[in-house]
Amino acid sequence: MNVKLIRGDTNRLNIYFRRKLLDADGKPIRGSDGEFTYSAINLTNATITLTARNTNTDVIVFQLTNTGGQIVVSNPANAGNAVVTVAPTTTASMSAPSWLDYDVELLESDSTKTTVLKGRLLVSKDITYA
């Protein structure tokens, strides 16, 4: 999933952590509409990390975590929702436009590690400097 941020702004991204429901044979369960069914992932005691890397050099440009306070798990944690806040200072000094590669990794309390999102992140220039 591609994400667009405005340089120097407070940018927020809502993430909904879901897992496909499987039957006893390990096959995905479909609802009456034919679509896969999902259940919320319990984020209690989980670690969520968003890492953004320079596309050309693979250098980490920024990393945000729930343990660092930049990602907040919504209440109740078993609903599987979190909000990532990219503070203005995170992108203020970046040249724009800048393309970064990013992913969001979830480490659950039972040590299950999953990359739940990945894609390209565009930091676009702001017009008003205030």
Quickly tell me which residue has 């693979």 as its tokens: 58
- Residue 24 placed within a domain: no
pLDDT tens-digit profile of 13-69?
999 999 999 999 999 999 999 999 999 999 999 999 999 999 899 999 999 999 999
- Residue 51 placed within a domain: yes
Report the Cα 49 to chain-centroid distance in Å. Answer: 7
CATH number of the domain that residue 115 is part of: 2.60.40.10
Instruction: Identify the pLDDT of residue 111.
Output: 95
Report the Cα 11 to chain-centroid distance in Å. Answer: 12
- Residue 83 placed within a domain: yes
- Residue 89 placed within a domain: yes
- Residue 56 placed within a domain: yes
Mean predicted confidence (pLDDT) in 80-108:
94
φ, ψ of residue 104 to 5 degrees: the values are -120, 120
- Residue 70 placed within a domain: yes
- Residue 23 placed within a domain: no
Average pLDDT across the chain, whole number: 94
Instruction: Identify the pLDDT of residue 128.
Output: 78
pLDDT band of residue 130 (cuts 50, 70, 90) is low
- Residue 119 placed within a domain: yes
Domain range for 91 is 3-15+43-124
Number of domains in the chain: 1
DSSP the chain: --EEEETTS-EEEEEE-EEE-B-TTSPBPB-TTS-B-EEEPP-TT-EEEEEEEETTT--EEEEEETTTTSEEEPSSGGG-EEEEEE-HHHHTTS-SSEEEEEEEEEE-TTS-EEEEEEEEEEEEPPS---
